[in-house]
Amino acid sequence: MPVHNAEIAALFEEIAGLLEIQGENPFRIRAYRNAARSVGDLGTELAELHARGTDLTRLPGIGKDLAAQIEAILASGASTKLRALRKRSPAGVTALLAVPGLGPKRVKALAGQLGIHTLKQLERAAASGKIRALPGFGAKTEERIRLAVQARQGEGPRLPLASADQYAQALLAYLRQTPGVQQVEMAGSYRRAKETVGDLDILLSAESGSEVMTRFTRYDEVQKVLSQGPARASVILRGGLQVDLRRVAANSFGAALQYFTGSKAHNIAVRRLARQRGLKLNEYGVFKGGRRVAGETEASVYRALGLPPIAPELRENRGEIAAAQAGRLPRLIEFEDIKGDLHSHTRATDGRLSLKELALAAKQFGLRYLAITDHTRHLTVAKGLDAARLARQGEEIDRLNAELTGITLLKGIEVDILEDGRLDLPDAALAPLDIIVGAVHGGFNLSAKKQTERLIRAMNAAHFTVLAHPSGRLLGRREAYQVDMERVIREAGRRGCFLELNAQPQRLDLNDVYCKLAKSEGVLISLASDAHRAQDFEHLRRGIGQARRGWLEADDVVNTRPLRQLRALLRRMR
């Protein structure tokens, strides 16, 4: 039975959390956290690498002990280390760690000071106002915890899109191997590229007599069969993800794909438009009276309604139908439009590769330029650069650019934005650089007013170029900090700096709504991988989905420009 990278990453993340709660060695905790990130971001399944005989210790952050644990997990589907830690921990702590905004330190404080070990206890404490009295919490944190617990109890787990993708692609490949299957497609929020996915919806058409529904319920990773019939089956996978499979007739496949892709709000608006034209639209097709006039393809459905095809990423009822009617749908950005990357890290700080190794990895990925943006001194955990080390790195970049062909390195830095809005390095150190990426890595609990003023002061610094991961969120782990993002976007437009869409799977920050707002304000977006390893450049593909949800076209993204145009733009900014 295959074990996906997302499952191994989740096991290591839980181990790290439990070790921290139990007061274990910080270096061990960090090792598991780094391993969770390394495994979670890996583009190839560990099961596949292990089957090929790959030495897992060659992977970033994976030593002999962790490699042995991974091999044991791949063999058994479980972690003996985690099992032992759970036995030594109060029952329910694992569920607390899964609540967004509750890291190990807060869970430890809640357990030690209020005796909270379960979600029910947490909910009662939040409702009674006990949590706000604890140091480091407060009324707003208490309310966020209360809402997070309610949301968690109201629905199943939501996976980051990149994690859901591991399950989705394996399932699609499995179903396509079934005799008689004609078409198989993912629908739902996955197809719309939403940043998190609660379940998977699959549509297929197949020849009469195909055993595909039975084969689906016998998939190796199925933990529980919820229902099974000739046209629909629902299962729960071992990782807790629900998958619904629907079998439809080939001549209704397009209508069903449109219907089950959603969103609900988009479908309501489309059905209203159909009624206005004297048509009936449902998952079986478009009908005029009793006659089917469309349904075999999605394009035929939209055409019957007088519309051009609308990309799945736009189907949220945010103006896409009016834009389609007016012939103003955006020509959404494609991965092939990307020419370079403006955010990456070497082993000078917390990356895994040397300058040259990272440059060659970017070239192999197909990029033509790469900004090196290591951290600054304030981020001590990443061994951030001071002015002297940054200058020496700039000299090394000059030497490499004289040697390399097919890829150009840009001199940059990811400079910490301090709590008062100052940058972590002086102007004299930043002036020689091509790119200055400003980022918040602490002080997340400032008020919305102070956080907004902090970002605006930073953006108005003389050499500021890009505001990195602007909301500071980590999907499922850390809520966005309080900030007036609309004001920040307007200020970026006034100042002429860029906002980043950080494509790390747990960030996808900016979100789609603010990407669209930035576009309307004329603010260019830097679609960045935030690469720390060679495989991290694959994040750019995931970021494309988020950019498309934000209505972004190639011209709205700064790193779709050839290097000469980019340099000219940067000179005008500075």
Which residue do the tokens 């909301």 mark? 471
Q: Say yes or no: 446 and 478 in one domain.
A: yes
Amino acid at 517: L
- How distant is the alpha carbon of residue 314 from its chain centre? 18
At 20 the pLDDT is 85
Q: Which one has a higher pLDDT value, 16 or 331? A: 331
Final residue of a domain: which of 154, 169, 195? 154
Q: What is the pLDDT of residues 406-439, one digit of tens each?
A: 999 999 999 999 999 999 999 999 999 999 999 9
Q: Say yes or no: 29 and 117 in one domain.
A: yes
At 157 the pLDDT is 62
At 398 the pLDDT is 97
Other C-beta atoms within 10 Å of 293: how many? 15
At 572 the pLDDT is 85
Q: Say yes or no: 241 and 256 in one domain.
A: no
Does residue 545 lie within any of the structural domains? yes
CATH assignment of the domain containing 114: 1.10.150.110
Final residue of a domain: which of 134, 154, 174? 154
Distance between CA atoms of 8 and 47, rounded to whole angstroms?
10
Query: Residue 354: left (phi > 0), alpha (psi -120 to 50), or beta?
Result: beta
CATH assignment of the domain containing 207: 3.30.460.10
Burial track 540-552 (b if 16+ CB lie within 10 A, e otherwise): bebbbbbbbbbbb
Going by pLDDT thresholds of 50, 70 and 90, the confidence category of residue 91 is low
Final residue of a domain: which of 154, 187, 203? 154
Q: Please say whether the dihedral angle defined by the alpha carbons of residues 115, 116, 120 and 126, taken in this order, is positive or negative.
A: positive
pLDDT tops 80 at residue 351: yes
Give, rounded to a whole angstrom, the gap between the first and last alpha carbons of the chain. Answer: 55
Max mean pLDDT range (239-248, 440-449, 523-532): 523-532
Q: Say yes or no: 476 and 517 in one domain.
A: yes
Strands of the 435-439 sheet, one edge to the other: 340-341, 369-372, 408-416, 435-439, 466-467, 498-502, 525-528
CATH assignment of the domain containing 519: 3.20.20.140
Amino acid at 265: A
User: What is the Cα gyration radius of the chain?
Assistant: 25
pLDDT tops 60 at residue 155: no
Amino acid at 237: L
Contact in structure between 345 and 374 (CB atoms under 8 Å): yes
At 145 the pLDDT is 80
At 403 the pLDDT is 95
pLDDT tops 80 at residue 100: no
Question: How confident is the prediction for the chain on average, in pLDDT?
Answer: 91
pLDDT tops 90 at residue 204: yes
Q: What is the pLDDT of residues 169-197, one digit of tens each?
A: 999 999 999 999 999 999 999 999 999 99
At 158 the pLDDT is 78
pLDDT tops 60 at residue 277: yes
Mean pLDDT across the stretch 278-306? 95
Going by pLDDT thresholds of 50, 70 and 90, the confidence category of residue 349 is very high
Q: Say yes or no: 482 and 382 in one domain.
A: yes
CATH assignment of the domain containing 288: 3.30.210.10
At 151 the pLDDT is 63
Helix, strand and coil content of the chain, in percent to the nearest 5, comes to 50, 15, 35
Q: Which one has a higher pLDDT value, 382 or 295? A: 295
Q: What is the pLDDT of residues 371-411, one digit of tens each?
A: 999 999 987 776 899 999 999 999 999 999 999 999 999 99
Does residue 267 lie within any of the structural domains? yes
- From residue 252, alpha-carbon distances to 189, 222, 308, 364 in Å are 20, 28, 19, 42
Q: What angle do CA 567, 570, 572 make, to 5 degrees?
A: 115
Does residue 528 lie within any of the structural domains? yes
Q: Say yes or no: 460 and 372 in one domain.
A: yes
At 238 the pLDDT is 85
Q: Say yes or no: 305 and 379 in one domain.
A: no
- How distant is the alpha carbon of residue 387 from its chain centre? 32
Does residue 193 lie within any of the structural domains? yes
Q: Say yes or no: 27 and 167 in one domain.
A: no
Q: Say yes or no: 443 and 535 in one domain.
A: yes
Domain enclosing residue 438, as ranges:
335-573
Q: Say yes or no: 117 and 232 in one domain.
A: no
Going by pLDDT thresholds of 50, 70 and 90, the confidence category of residue 136 is confident
Q: Say yes or no: 197 and 235 in one domain.
A: yes
Strand 408-416 with 196-197, pairing:
unpaired
Does residue 35 lie within any of the structural domains? yes
Contact in structure between 468 and 444 (CB atoms under 8 Å): no
pLDDT tops 70 at residue 111: yes
The percent of residues above 90 in pLDDT, for the chain, comes to 67
The percent of residues above 70 in pLDDT, for the chain, comes to 97
Domain count, the chain: 4
Phi, psi (deg, nearest 5) at residue 531: -65, 135
Q: Which one has a higher pLDDT value, 366 or 97? A: 366
pLDDT tops 90 at residue 483: yes
Q: Say yes or no: 348 and 422 in one domain.
A: yes
Q: Which of 46, 145, 161, 47 lies closest to 99, judged by CA?
A: 145
Q: pTM score, two decimals? A: 0.82
At 92 the pLDDT is 66
Does residue 330 lie within any of the structural domains? no
Q: What is the pLDDT of residues 298-335, one digit of tens each?
A: 999 999 999 999 999 999 999 999 999 999 999 999 99
Max mean pLDDT range (132-141, 238-247, 345-354, 361-370): 361-370
